[in-house]
Structures are given as C-alpha cells and as structure tokens.
Structure 1
C-alpha cells in the first residue's frame, strides 16, 4: 500500500487540496512502520512546496 500511496501523491501533487485529501487517506490507511516511511518520503519530496500541509496532516493525525 505504501508504494501505491507514493504513486498517488506524486500524481496529484499539482493540486493542494487533492494532495491533502490523498495524504489524509494514506495516513488513515497505513500501518505505523509504513507511515513513518511515508512521512520521511513526503518531507524529502514535497517539503519545499507543501510543508504547511505536511505539518498539519502528520501532526494532527499521527
């Protein structure tokens, strides 16, 4: 599932709302180990553009 969500997030990264929606879906679906890996990956790949969204989603939902 982790690789699936990485693919989806990459494809929807052009749209802030869609990115946030899919990120929240991933956070609710993944197990803790996968979630830690997703968090690292998201900050590395999208941190410069979506840091406020990442902070909000990961801090309030993990």
Structure 2
C-alpha cells in the first residue's frame, strides 16, 4: 500500500487541494501505523519545497 499511495501523491501533486486530500486519506485510511513514519520522510523529501505547510498540517494532525 505504501508504494501505491506514493504513486497517487505524485500524480496529484499538481493540485494543492487534491494533494492535501489524498495525503490525509493516505495517512488515515491506507497506511498501517508502522508505515506512516517512512511515508512522512518520503513526503518531506519529495514535496517539502512545494507544500511545506500542507505536510506539517497533515502529519502533525495525524500524530495527535
């Protein structure tokens, strides 16, 4: 599932709203808790220059 959600995020990264929606869905529905940390690291590496606020918001919310 991890590779699947990575692929989806890459495909929707052109749209800010869609990106955030899919990121939230990936964290809350598709990934197992042990996959989220690896996914977070990958997301920051790939998308931090473009969407730092979205990443912070989604991952901080998921950790609460």
Q: Same fold (TM over 0.5)?
A: yes
Per the normalisation by structure 1, the TM-score is 0.95
Per the normalisation by structure 2, the TM-score is 0.92
| Richer in helix (by share) | 1
In 2, Cα distance between the equivalents of 1:13 and 1:33? 24
Q: Tell me, what secondary structure is at the counterpart of 1:48?
A: coil
In structure 1, what is the equivalent of residue 16 of structure 2? 16
- Give structure 2 stretches of 5+ with no counterpart: none
In 1, Cα distance between the equivalents of 2:21 and 2:61? 14
- Give structure 1 stretches of 5+ with no counterpart: none
Residue 32 of structure 1, CA deviation: 1.7
Q: Tell me, what secondary structure is at the counterpart of 2:49?
A: helix
In 2, Cα distance between the equivalents of 1:60 and 1:5? 18
What is the CA deviation profile of residues 8-55 of structure 1, one whole-angstrom value per residue up to 9, with x for unaligned ones? 000000000000000000001211221001100000000011000000
| Aligned residues between the structures | 62
Moved over 3 A (4+): none
In structure 2, what is the equivalent of residue 4 of structure 1? 4
